[in-house]
Every structure is written in C-alpha cells, then in structure tokens.
Structure 1
Amino acid sequence: MTEPRLKQVQCLDSLGLHRMAYWEWGDPANRRVVVCVHGLSRQGRDFDALARELCGTYRVVCPDVVGRGQSDWLQDPAGYAIPAYVADMVTLLARLDVDAVDWVGTSMGGLIGLGLAALPGSPLRRLVLNDVGPAIQFAALQRIGGYLGQPAHWATLEEAADALWAISKSFGPHTREQWLAMTRPQLKPDGAGFKPHYDPAIAVPFRMVTPELAAAGEAMLWQAYDRLQLPTLLLRGADSDLLSHDTAQAMTQRGPRARLVEFAGVGHAPTLQQDDQLQVVRDFLLAA
C-alpha cells in the first residue's frame, strides 16, 4: 500500500522558529500539487484516502498545522490563529517550489485556504472548501469548545476510538476499520496509554472568541470570499451545525460562485473517506 513521506519545514513565529511537519504522497518531482489541510483538532493523515486517490496524478501534500500531529507546539498560544497559519503555508508553498497549487481545506483548513486565496498574487488555482464559509454558527463553536483541549488519557486504541467517536458522530457513518485508521494518527503515546496528538493550548485563543468577535470576523471573511476569482467547490454536510444552508447558498451567488455539493446523513464535517465524497473532489480537481 502506498505510504507518505514525512517532511518538515521551518516557519517563523513571534518568538522564533517552529517546525511544521507535512506528509507528501506521489512523485516528489511532480509539479502538479494539491495541498490538503485539516480541521481544528485534526492532523494531516485525515487525508490518506483522498491522497491515495490522487497521488498518481498529483503530488499530494498534507501538513500537520502547527500544534498538531508531528509539528512543534508554540511557546505563545496567541500564534494559534488563522493569519499565522496562512503565513506558515506561504513558507510551505515556497518549499514546494511550484507556480500554482490546488487546495482542499476542511473546516479550519478551508479558512486557511480562503485567506491564502484572497491574497494578491495567490498561487492557488482551484479551491475546495469542506463544510466551512465566512459565516460560522456560534453554537457550533461552543460545541467544539466544550471538548477542545480537555485532558484525556486512553488505555488502548479501541478506547480512544470510542471516546473520539462520541464527539465525532456528526462526521457521518464510518466502518470500524475506517474509524480506527482515522484515530491512530490522533494519538500520542502517554505512559501506558495514549493522549490527544495536539497542544491543549490551541483552545486558548479559540475560547476567547465572543459573538461580537465572531461577527467582526465574518465581515472580514465575506470581504475575502468576495475577492476570490478561482474555481471553488463547496462541500457541506446536509446536517452541518457549523455551515448553515443559507450561508452555503449565499456562497453560490457571490464571490467565486462556488459549486455546492451536500452529503445526506453527514454533519460537520465530511471526512472525505467515503466513495461519493472522494469522487466529487477528484472530479473537480481533475477537470482542470
């Protein structure tokens, strides 16, 4: 079975340098590149299924956003924010040494892609936004904040998988094999068992978001979205509590006029593990 290469790149933060790890699939000399970026408490191996679908055509690059997976943890939690993540991705794209990339971003990864795509001279060619948009339902942020950064320890992989499934049922149906495969990279060894793979401090700036700050951020994100001129695919779990149907419809009418595909029986967010989800993304990227 095809497996990725683990690489790293040094990025600048307010207190010095940190190492961002990334997983690379396919021919390392291939100049056709897609970057896949995960959600808030996830990591780059979430895209294994998609990477295996695409690595015959693309070099597939799946970073562990700083504070997650194999990447360093920051000394200053204030750096766990979208603008800083965008800056890290600019450094990564320079390392990849290509003129243009396609982008698949789930939730937080979509917001990073949106920020990068809106920059003048952006190298993004095609954009997939997975269950995220400029307007984010505050109740969903509160739900995520209820578990983000909480201490946890599990004795076995199976125990961890059950605990993570309890807070992830909105991802939609998965086989046990699929869920165990998605759980393994979410864990770090901790004594005789396991703990979450991410820095608990990623929750610090997240919990500082108020309805007022969220509203101000929404206005800025709509301005960024309206500047986009690249082909954009918007995926939505039909039962999503983070991306409303009204917001998704508005995204089809303004800015890049995204093409919207909704998946029944799924909330926030489609994991891009199922065949129908993989086909929609593959067809969009390969249509160019």
Structure 2
Amino acid sequence: MSELGESVFFSAPDGLRLHAVDHGRGISDALPLVCLPGLSRNARDFAGFAEHFVTRAKPRRRVVCFDYRGRGLSEWDRNWKNYNVVTETEDLLAGMAALGITHAAIVGTSRGGLIAMTLAAMRPGIMRAVVLNDIGPVIEGDGLTQIRAVLSRAPKPSNWDEAIALQKATMAKHFPALTDQDWASETRAKYREVKGKIVPDHDPALVRTLTSIDLRDRLPTLWPQFMGLSSLPVLVLRGEHSNLLRHDTVQKMAKRHPDLRHVTIAGQGHAPLVHTAGIPELVEDFLKTRRR
C-alpha cells in the first residue's frame, strides 16, 4: 500500500467514473471509516488521518476516502447542476457498495457532513457513528461567502513554494496553529500539478453551485436532517475561528441530540485539518467509548 493508499475507481449511477482511496483494505476486525471531504476538496485531505487508523490505532481500521464527482481523480460532470448533495450521496452509496462496505462510521468535513445528514434520510442503517467536522444544521452566510470568494478568485501559482505562500496568506488569519509542514500538506492536498502547471484539484464549474445562491437571504436550516442522526453517536469538531459553524449552534445541537460529544479545535477555522491537533486520537477515543 502506498502512502496514499490504493486508488479504486467505480461507476456512479449515471455512469460517471469516480475515485476513492482505500487505506488498509485487508483490515476487517473493526468498523471501517468512510471519509468525505469538503466542497472543493478531495481524498488527500484524509491521508494522514487514515495513516493513524491503519497503522497505530487500536483497533486498526480500514479507511476509505472518496473524491466526489468533479474533484480529485473523479471524472468531471458536464452538467454542473449535478454537483449537489443528493447526487453525491447517491454516488457515495454506489461507491460503498462497489467496495463491499455494508456499515461504517462516517467522517464528514463540511460538505461531507451534509452528505452524512442526507444519508440519514436515504440509508440510515449503513451508518454506525458520525463525525461532523465543522458543519451543522445552521450554515452561516459569512462562511459560504468566503468559500465562494476563494473559489471565484482561485490563484494560479507558478510553483509549489508560491502555492504554499498563497494558501497561507489566504487562510493564516483563521489558522494560527498551523505549522509550516501543515501549510505544505494543506496545499499539496488542494492543488495538483498538471502538465507543469499547479491548479486547484476540482472542476472550476463547481463555483457555479455557490454563485447561484443569493447569500443575502437567510439560508434554510437543516434541523430535520440533523435529527436524522439522533439514533447514532455523533462527534462534532468545531474550529475555534470557524465562520461557518457558530458555537451557539453546536450548543443547540448538543441539547437536541441524546448522544453528541463536541470539541473545539484551538487555533483553526473552517475546517480543521483532520490529521492535526490530536484529531485522529479524538476520533479513535470517540469510537471506543461508543462501543462501535
């Protein structure tokens, strides 16, 4: 197995060729983890996180990380309107079936957490526990505005050093805890080198899913979808400087959910890097104490 695990390709329900990274496929003694990245992100965000569970955690666990359509090594969709949570949840179910995953703990960063909540409505029995990384049923417009601005004005670095510097300049205010190594890892996960050029690793049309939303209006809440997780143990990670998930929203989530644990990740914003700040150990402990 390589550092990034084993690449696996499968077909979406509409025939699009999609990609996942399977870490520790031979591990079968514990519930596997299925990792779902943020809106424009990809499976590489979970490489370090997966390494912990495959090599050091007790018990060791298989970890499968998905690239949504239009991200990472998955095929781009000709119709940008298919970049939506319902379609991506259907893609996930197809991928889990192709990889023989009947039950899993879901780790969802931002968009991935929305997919977990959608999964609770479409196929709740497939989940045994859920980690929501900086996402909840109330999404702040300021956070979406920032994400839209970053996607709309994606820089075009000429080399990796410049890419790292640009990433740090964009995010450092909300991520003072990150080290130089963290910035390099974050940048390598976000960008890909294609024909000598360093480009964001997603379909540029993805930004249209946000430009089509009027962020001046009050965004709808997702409390019914969140309550679909009420029968499952849930761990919520919130970045201390997050502008997408408010602290008071997490408090309301805890009051409504009978088995919810929440942790603030110091010195990070939206969304915390899951291989840092002891997050792998937090998730490992969460799964142990829930006897899952």
TM-score over 0.5 (shorter chain):
yes
Counterparts of 1:151 and 1:232 in 2: how far apart (Å)? 34
Segments of structure 1 that go 5 or more residues without pairing to the other structure are none
Q: CA deviation at 1:81?
A: 0.8
- 8 Å CA contact retained: 1:232, 1:256: no
CA distance change for structure 1 residues 140 and 121 in 2, over 3 Å: closer, same or farther?
Answer: closer
1:7 is aligned to 8
CA distance change for structure 1 residues 3 and 215 in 2, over 3 Å: closer, same or farther?
Answer: closer
Segments of structure 2 that go 5 or more residues without pairing to the other structure are none
2:225 is equivalent to residue 224 of structure 1: yes
1:265 is aligned to 267
Q: CA deviation at 1:215?
A: 2.9
CA distance change for structure 1 residues 142 and 96 in 2, over 3 Å: closer, same or farther?
Answer: same
1:183 corresponds to which of 177, 183, 187: 187
Of residues 243-252 and 192-201 in structure 1, the stretch that sits farther from structure 2 once superposed is 192-201
Q: CA deviation at 1:168?
A: 2.5
Counterparts of 1:127 and 1:48 in 2: how far apart (Å)? 19
The percent of aligned pairs where both chains have the same amino acid is 33
1:281 is aligned to 283
Match of 2:13, SS?
strand
Of residues 225-234 and 90-99 in structure 1, the stretch that sits farther from structure 2 once superposed is 90-99
Give the aligned residue type for 1:215.
L
CA distance change for structure 1 residues 275 and 135 in 2, over 3 Å: closer, same or farther?
Answer: closer
1:154 corresponds to which of 132, 136, 157: 157
2:239 is aligned to 237
Q: CA deviation at 1:188?
A: 2.8
- 8 Å CA contact retained: 2:167, 2:183: no
1:201 corresponds to which of 193, 199, 205: 205
Counterparts of 1:41 and 1:123 in 2: how far apart (Å)? 25
CA distance change for structure 1 residues 114 and 8 in 2, over 3 Å: closer, same or farther?
Answer: same
2:61 is equivalent to residue 48 of structure 1: no
- 8 Å CA contact retained: 1:149, 1:202: no
1:61 is aligned to 64
Give the aligned residue type for 2:147.
I
CA distance change for structure 1 residues 185 and 120 in 2, over 3 Å: closer, same or farther?
Answer: closer
Q: CA deviation at 1:198?
A: 0.7
Q: CA deviation at 1:3?
A: 4.0
Counterparts of 1:256 and 1:227 in 2: how far apart (Å)? 12
2:104 is equivalent to residue 106 of structure 1: no
Of residues 272-281 and 50-59 in structure 1, the stretch that sits farther from structure 2 once superposed is 272-281
Match of 1:181, SS?
helix
Q: CA deviation at 1:209?
A: 1.6
Counterparts of 2:179 and 2:48 in 1: how far apart (Å)? 14
Cα RMSD between the aligned structures?
Answer: 2.0
Q: CA deviation at 1:127?
A: 0.2
The C-alpha deviation readout for 1:230-254, integer Å capped at 9, x for no partner, is 0000111122110001111011011
Give the aligned residue type for 2:272.
P
Count how many residue pairs are aligned between Structure 1 and Structure 2: 282
CA distance change for structure 1 residues 35 and 256 in 2, over 3 Å: closer, same or farther?
Answer: farther
Q: CA deviation at 1:141?
A: 0.7
Q: How is 1:34-183 mapped onto 2 (pairs within 5 angstroms)?
A: 34-56=33-55, 57-169=60-172, 170-183=174-187
Give the aligned residue type for 1:174.
L
Match of 1:148, SS?
helix
- 8 Å CA contact retained: 1:149, 1:201: no
Counterparts of 1:82 and 1:280 in 2: how far apart (Å)? 27
Give the aligned residue type for 1:199.
D
